Structure 1
Amino acid sequence: MYCRECGQIMSNDSLRCTNCGTRKGLGDNYCYRCGSRIKSHNIEICEFCGAKLNNNINEVDVKIRSKLLAGLLALFLGGMGIHRFYLGYIKIGMVQLILWFLGYFNGGITWIIVEIWAFIECILIFLGIIKDSEGHPLE
């Protein structure tokens, strides 16, 4: 895949061009499939490869989530599952939140469990192993 703004090759997993910083799917200078220069901004099909130039417009709607914010949420509020809510994993976030509340009634045993769980997830977030609920990598 090529950046629509600068024409450089982009990774399919990347949400932004590493060369110019443009979000995937934005721009109208180059074809996303073959990387050829688009002469007119109002054409809908690439004259070199035949790609529909507006068929990757849905990539613009991707919500980019911050790796730093997710990691800090996991580190400081991870026992309550706040980082999981931020990443879109509502069910896992609810499990962590319920376990955290149960800590009030069992002497804090589940607090220890969810804090260790959140600390491990914090490390995995910073390593790039955990992605958001839609499978997109964190930036």
Structure 2
Amino acid sequence: MLMVENIKKVVQELILPELGIIKAENQEIKTILQFINQRVNDTNIQLVDQSRRIDELRVELKKEISDLRIELKKEISEVKRELKEEISEVKRELKEEIFKNTIRMDRLYEVIVRRDEHEMLVMRVAKNEQKITEMDMEFHKIAA
């Protein structure tokens, strides 16, 4: 029995202090693991919160983009309508100006034709006056 007691004593002297150290280290590891788990949980909570905020922001942005599209479409339609009106007005004014210019061109043509006719008449009158002068001279020759 002495041997059993010696073995028991050796185990108590050598292994028990090591076992105490292992238990203390195990407790430290558990504490560190708890701390790490708490940090992971906090990080997960933050990620979930950020994900929720991102989703909310995405929904808000989609709505804003949709509203902006609708507003832009309205503005584009209004600008198109205004441009069509302005183009129609410019066309109308242009047609009026073309019509006025056509009338002016017609008048100018009439004036030019009259001027040509006038010049031709002046030439005819000059020829007739010359013929009358020649006839008058011949008449005076015959009469003298």
- State the TM bucket, normalised to the shorter chain: under 0.3
Question: Which structure has greater helix proportion?
Answer: 2
RCO higher in 1 or 2 (8 Å CA, sep ≥ 6)? Answer: 1
TM-score, normalised via structure 1 length: 0.23
Structure index of larger Rg: 2
